[in-house]
Structure 1
Amino acid sequence: MGLDNEAQAEEGIPSKAFRYNSPVVQVILIGFVCFCCPGMFNALSGMGGGGQVNPEAANNANTALYTTFAVFGILGGGIYNVLGTRLTLCLGCSTYVLYAGSFLYYNHSQHQLFAIIAGAVLGIGAGLLWAGQGAIMTSYPTEDKKGRYISMFWSIFNLGGVIGGFIPFISNYHRTAGSVNDGTYIGFMCFMGFGALLTLTLLPPHKVVRDDGTKVTMMKYSNPTTEFLEILKLFSNSKMLLLFPAAWASNFFYTYQFNHVNGGDLFTLRTKGLNNVFYWAAQMLGSIGIGYVLDYGSQSRKKRGYMGVAVVALLGTVIWAGGLANELKYNGKKPKLDFKDSGTSYAGPFVLYFSYGLLDAIFQNLVYWMIGALSDDSQTLSRYSGFYKGVQSAGAAVAWQIDAHKTSPVKELVINWCLTTISYPLLLVLVDLYVNDKSSPVADYDGDMKDGNRAVKDKNAQM
């Protein structure tokens, strides 16, 4: 008689039927967690100023958010390795509800303090969530599926932004000016609360079995001292140093795009919500497209990495150039555009904002693919992902304060264009030096092999 599903999983042999402990199911689940929490947060932020007429409160709250995110993004991988999947992610997701609630409070009181404190707390939670998410997304799939799993996650995650964009669009349809209504924030809070509960359905890494029969990791949870020392090593790790400019740039442009392209005075209130629907839909399309480039074809993985950087660099240059032309066209005097406007007055800025969403997806999917190509070990990749999110958030904190100091939109655009451009040659170097056709399943830092994974390798060799 054949082994039943549970026995097969225990033996490391996946069944042909649907498996809850398969990488694809776990990646889908973390996708829906992020659909509910950061996906809705993105829809809220994409309104410009957190849905408020005056962006000052949102700028200050986001500065606090990304400051603590920078710290806990880097520490998040270590905390994930100590606390485990469910507790880390549940704690992280619960902070999103508080943040949305702070703007509901601000809608009535116009006092910033609660929003700023909630932003700082969310930065801690987001650091935990994204470190765990990064470990799941990059370490669970086999090498030939990492690009498509990343794009699968990104599509589900950004579907949250699409659905979230409809919330302010529908609830504020008959309003052309002012802040969004209370129902908008309440809708976001409901989704975020459900996302926090959904984290409890995720399995710990050692229970996940790939389609080829290998387990994700045989490691036990780490300890705080080990994690602290391993995190310190990241700052002298040549892989992470090459990744640093791309990480810094990857959320820096959100401030400009949300506050000056979709936010501000260019669009009516309801049109901002509709624009967000298509901005995050563009993210879904972009993730699928770049996932195809990075996973498919007969070329080696190194060549696919080169191709991915070339595609992102080319599209990025074209899109930022189009953005500069748009800013110079208005010269600071922006009309109030509505999606019902006839002619090309609305179409041009709409296509530009759509293109910014496309660029964000292909840029970040490329970086995540490279992180996944550096190792297969869940603990290592949780640290790499945490480092990426920490540096990314430090850049975002700076960007929000640059905007808070009334920097002109043209200057912000040029800064963003320069930062993304600087990262491209360094990503090429990263591909050249560290991306191979088959990454070591356990290589970490100087190529040392972790004992738990060595045991897996030895066991597989005996089978």
Structure 2
Amino acid sequence: MKVHSSWRYNSPFVQVLLVSFVCFCCVGQFSAIGSLGAGGTQSITLSNITNAILYALFALTGIVAGSFNNLFGPRITLFCGSLGYALYVAALWVYQEKAQDWFLIFSGAVLGMCAALLWTAQGCIMLSYPLEAEKGRSFAWFWAIFNCGSLLGGLIALGINLKQGGLDAVKTTTYIAFFAVIMVGVASTWTLLPPSRVVRTDGTLVKVEKSNTARQEIAALLSTLKKREILLLLPMFFASNFFYPYQGSIAFKTFDSATRSVNGVVKAVGQIVGALILGFLLDKLPMGRRNRGLVGLAVTASFTIIAYSWGVKYQIPITRATHWERKINYHDSTFAEPMSIFILYDIGDAFYQGLAYWIMGAITNDPFELARFAGMYKAVQSAGAAVAFAMDATLVPYINEIGAVFGLMLFSFPFAGLVIWGIRDSNYEVENQVYVDETAAEENNTIAVLESGNQAAPQFDRQSSGSSEKKI
């Protein structure tokens, strides 16, 4: 078997780096704008309305986003998804100039649909392109690069605070800069190769089958909705973004503006560190894949219990009626405990999201199926986030809110464990894998037969990459 370099342009690693850069430019800048306070509009009501519509359409579109990806391919899906981020920033720009509420709300609706497409294509590329033994690192690299965009946003917000003493309405030049970066991301989607041209390091092709018809894809989507593993993972999907509204609300309640900016920087760093740690655990531990998954689950569950137990203890004396004459500043001695809790939250978030992605990637290597999985994950995740935002908007007591977050995560772990327990140490033996040198040999064989006058070319014997027979 011929070994191929990881740094070829058509290698999974380079393709994952490219999609990571697209998400850095698009999603990363969206997160960066969020760090500026209500998208920079300083209107919490308008921001909440926009986000509510965004997440609702995100959830609905996520259900069919995998089928869209399978019909049109990840490159077109990613391109269409990236356009929504450009429109959203353009709407913020217009809002600063003309105060057009309707356009901002409309852009949020479009972004919800586009984000489902972008994240589905991203999930398909990240999970189906690498070898089974590289899927943990694939998530780690993607999550680290993507969160550099959030880190950028935190640094921008922190710089504004340190210079101006607060986050006032953002200048239009800031939006122009963000828009330019996002357009670089939109253009970068066309640097991605079609799956059929991506060759893994062991010489196998990512996809050799033809795309489904619309009717076949609808039937496959209905089959995915009834799949046992997906049904067991629904609690994990639902809880995976449920904690964001609570964490944002308690940070706003506790920290002053400058300290929230510091928290934004630390949050991104925690996400990067957590992703790199989990990627190592899931790929490098000297044991079978199922056992690596169980170790990853144990580490994630333990981290979650420690972080949220400490968080509940800190939360108990703080209610929505609590009022401080002065909120906590990062220079204060009282800053250390809540900041430590938030660091644990952020590392744990990367663990939780990474484990969910890794489990999906361990169920199958089929890019069509994984696209549907990714779409379903984002759909249910967004539905959970919408419910969580609604809870926070209705001023549910903080202790009830963190209890719901903690309870949902604990509830999801046994079901995730059942899925991990049922995964194989490899899917190569049950899923046909085709080598790039086999396809070349088959094409040459066919041409030779046709040139000799025989119209019926013989079938080429395709071996799976799980076979013990080596290819030269």
Kept after mapping to 2: 8 A contact 1:235/1:241:
yes
In 2 relative to 1, CA 222–84 (structure 1 residues): closer, same or farther, beyond 3 Å?
Answer: same
Kept after mapping to 1: 8 A contact 2:255/2:329:
yes
d(CA) in 2 for partners of 1:207, 1:56: 47
Structure 1 residue identity aligned to 2:307: I
In 2 relative to 1, CA 164–315 (structure 1 residues): closer, same or farther, beyond 3 Å?
Answer: same
In 2 relative to 1, CA 256–109 (structure 1 residues): closer, same or farther, beyond 3 Å?
Answer: farther
More off after superposition, 361-370 vs 164-173:
164-173
Task: Give the aligned partner of residue 316 of structure 1.
Answer: 304
d(CA) in 2 for partners of 1:150, 1:247: 16
Which residue of the other structure, out of 411, 422, 425, is the alignment partner of 1:437?
A: 425
Kept after mapping to 2: 8 A contact 1:36/1:191:
yes
Kept after mapping to 1: 8 A contact 2:21/2:146:
yes
Deviation at 1:98, TM superposition (A): 1.8
Give a deviation string over 1:23-49, Cα, whole Å, max 9, x none.
Answer: 110011111111111122223334553
More off after superposition, 326-335 vs 415-424:
326-335
Q: Is residue 229 of structure 1 aligned with residue 197 of structure 2?
A: no
More off after superposition, 238-247 vs 316-325:
316-325
In 2 relative to 1, CA 18–146 (structure 1 residues): closer, same or farther, beyond 3 Å?
Answer: closer
Which residue of the other structure, out of 336, 359, 372, is the alignment partner of 1:347?
A: 336
Kept after mapping to 2: 8 A contact 1:282/1:358:
yes
d(CA) in 2 for partners of 1:190, 1:451: 41
Mapping of 1:63-462 within 5 angstroms? 63-107=52-96, 112-177=101-166, 179-182=168-171, 183-258=173-248, 260-262=249-251, 264-331=252-319, 332-334=322-324, 335-339=326-330, 341-343=331-333, 345-433=334-422, 435-440=423-428, 458-460=461-463
Give a deviation string over 1:190-215, Cα, whole Å, max 9, x none.
Answer: 32221111111000111000110111
Partner-residue secondary structure (3-state), 2:104: helix
Deviation at 1:112, TM superposition (A): 3.8
Structure 2 residue identity aligned to 1:337: I
d(CA) in 1 for partners of 2:371, 2:194: 13
Give a deviation string over 1:211-241, Cα, whole Å, max 9, x none.
Answer: 1011111022332222222112222111110
d(CA) in 1 for partners of 2:267, 2:274: 11
The higher radius of gyration belongs to 2
d(CA) in 2 for partners of 1:310, 1:439: 23
Kept after mapping to 2: 8 A contact 1:66/1:393:
yes
- Structure 1-normalised TM-score? 0.88
Partner-residue secondary structure (3-state), 1:61: helix
Kept after mapping to 2: 8 A contact 1:302/1:432:
yes
The percent identity for this pair of structures is: 36
Give a deviation string over 1:100-136, Cα, whole Å, max 9, x none.
Answer: 3333444466654333221111111111111111111
More off after superposition, 55-64 vs 269-278:
269-278
Task: Give the aligned partner of residue 29 of structure 2.
Answer: 40
Structure 2 residue identity aligned to 1:336: K
Deviation at 1:257, TM superposition (A): 1.5
d(CA) in 1 for partners of 2:174, 2:339: 23
d(CA) in 1 for partners of 2:360, 2:47: 31
Kept after mapping to 1: 8 A contact 2:205/2:433:
no
More off after superposition, 136-145 vs 215-224:
215-224
Structure 2 residue identity aligned to 1:460: Q
Kept after mapping to 1: 8 A contact 2:130/2:138:
yes
Kept after mapping to 2: 8 A contact 1:375/1:441:
no
d(CA) in 1 for partners of 2:105, 2:392: 16
d(CA) in 1 for partners of 2:418, 2:151: 35
Structure 2 residue ranges without an equivalent (≥5): 440-459
Deviation at 1:333, TM superposition (A): 2.7
Give a deviation string over 1:149-168, Cα, whole Å, max 9, x none.
Answer: 11111111111111122122
d(CA) in 2 for partners of 1:312, 1:67: 28
d(CA) in 2 for partners of 1:17, 1:385: 24
Task: Give the aligned partner of residue 17 of structure 2.
Answer: 28
Kept after mapping to 2: 8 A contact 1:80/1:131:
yes
In 2 relative to 1, CA 69–161 (structure 1 residues): closer, same or farther, beyond 3 Å?
Answer: same
In 2 relative to 1, CA 409–48 (structure 1 residues): closer, same or farther, beyond 3 Å?
Answer: farther
Structure 2 residue identity aligned to 1:210: R
In 2 relative to 1, CA 430–129 (structure 1 residues): closer, same or farther, beyond 3 Å?
Answer: same
Deviation at 1:319, TM superposition (A): 1.0
In 2 relative to 1, CA 452–142 (structure 1 residues): closer, same or farther, beyond 3 Å?
Answer: closer
Deviation at 1:300, TM superposition (A): 1.3
d(CA) in 2 for partners of 1:178, 1:15: 50
d(CA) in 1 for partners of 2:362, 2:137: 13
Equivalent pairs counted in the alignment come to 441
Q: CA RMSD in A?
A: 2.6
Structure 1 residue ranges without an equivalent (≥5): 1-11, 444-448
Deviation at 1:365, TM superposition (A): 0.2
Partner-residue secondary structure (3-state), 2:316: helix
More off after superposition, 156-165 vs 93-102:
93-102
d(CA) in 2 for partners of 1:325, 1:402: 21
Partner-residue secondary structure (3-state), 1:346: helix
d(CA) in 2 for partners of 1:321, 1:17: 42
Structure 2 residue identity aligned to 1:247: F
